[in-house]
Structure formats: structure tokens, C-alpha cells
Amino acid sequence: MDWPFGDLRPFSYGLIYADPPWRQEMYSEETGTRKAPQAHYACMPLDEIKALPVGHLAAPDCYIVMWSLWNFVAPGYATNTLQAWGFAPKSGGSWHKVTKHGKAAMGTGYGFRGCCEPFLTGSIGKPKVHSRGERNGFTTDVDADFELNALLAQAREHSRKPEEMREALERMFPDVRKVELFSRRPACDRWDVWGNETAKFQDTTA
């Protein structure tokens, strides 16, 4: 088997954090592509994403968090990807996006306008979760009662994920090797990274 992950160590990561470059099918190539992920970065067909040997990065006990899109979650494509990688799907959540002005960020959608982004979780073996206080919703409402919501997470550059997710994962899995796949920022002392744009976002602040 060809190893696509460069210097990443096989069978050594207790946490895998992935943001696959899902390729969207367009109803209209003329208007749809301008707002699709492939207008911003190189995307991959679903079969190529599923064929990556992500499970060969996993330690015997490994937890995975994978970002997706609702139109990949609804028909089961995202769940099938976790299974193809060797993970048992477990749960998920969503990031409800807020603008810098505190308003709900609105995107395109299929019927409903998109203002949140889903993620799925899965596991190999029995990873130990250290922090049981993390929640699976990231709110858009900056005026909401903080006790009723998980985290405030502002939408920034296209495809850039909330720093609060990484912080939650570090609390949940403080003592394991961690890797971010399809990362768009450099490695740091707590994380290895892999992707073709790992220098895209240089700062790591929220």
C-alpha cells in the first residue's frame, strides 16, 4: 500500500481530526460552482476520500472527529466514509456560525439556508475521554445564556474551523498523539498536521 501521509506515523494517533475536501455536485455549473468548496480549494471525489488509509494512522484506541456537509450527512456519505476508514460511527454535532457582528451567518442550502456545519465522531477500540463536560453544539447567538450553549464560534475565512473545537478536543484527549488531516495551518507542539495547504492560516488564535 502506498503511504499518502508523508511523515505521519502509522498506528500512533489517539485522536484524528479531519476536514475532508468534499466535492459538491452542482445543479448549475454556471452559478453553483462560485459558491461551492471547489471555488476555494482543491476538492476530492467521495471515492478518493473513502480510499485514504486513515484507519492506519489510528492507535489501538482512537477517536475521530470529521467535519462534513449536510448534503453528505443526509444520504449517509459521511457515515460511510468513517466506516471505510475503519471507524465505528458514534455521534456528532454542529457548528452554528456567527458573524463578527453577532448575527447568524447565512449560506446556501437545499431548501433551508445553511447557517451551521455538521461533524461526525467515531472510534476504533475504546478511547478514554478525560473531560465529560464538552458539548456538541457551537452557537451563533452571542447574547444567549452561556450555560445553555456550548461555545461561541465565529465564522472567519472560508473553510476555517473554530478554534474552540480544537480546545475542546485537547481537554477530552490531553495525553494522546493528535493529528489534523486536510489541515490548513502548521503543526504545533500538540498536533501533527497533513494537507496541501498547511500554511494557509498562520495564526492559531480564535
- What pLDDT is recorded for position 28? 52
Q: How far apart are CA 125 and CA 128, in angstroms?
A: 10
- What pLDDT is recorded for position 159? 58
The DSSP symbol for 168 reads H
Name the stretches of the chain with pLDDT < 70.
1, 26-41, 102-110, 113-114, 138-160, 198-206
Percent of the chain beyond pLDDT 70?
Answer: 70
- What pLDDT is recorded for position 30? 55
- What pLDDT is recorded for position 135? 85
**Pick from 38, 85, 37: nearest CA to 65:** 85
Q: How far apart are CA 179 and CA 190, in angstroms?
A: 9
- What pLDDT is recorded for position 191? 94
Q: Which residues does 65 contact at the CB level (< 8 Å), separation at least 6?
A: 15, 16, 17, 18, 119, 120, 121, 165, 169
Q: How far apart are CA 193 and CA 138, in angstroms?
A: 24
Answer yes or no: are the C-beta atoms of 148 and 112 closer than 8 Å.
Answer: no
- What pLDDT is recorded for position 199? 60
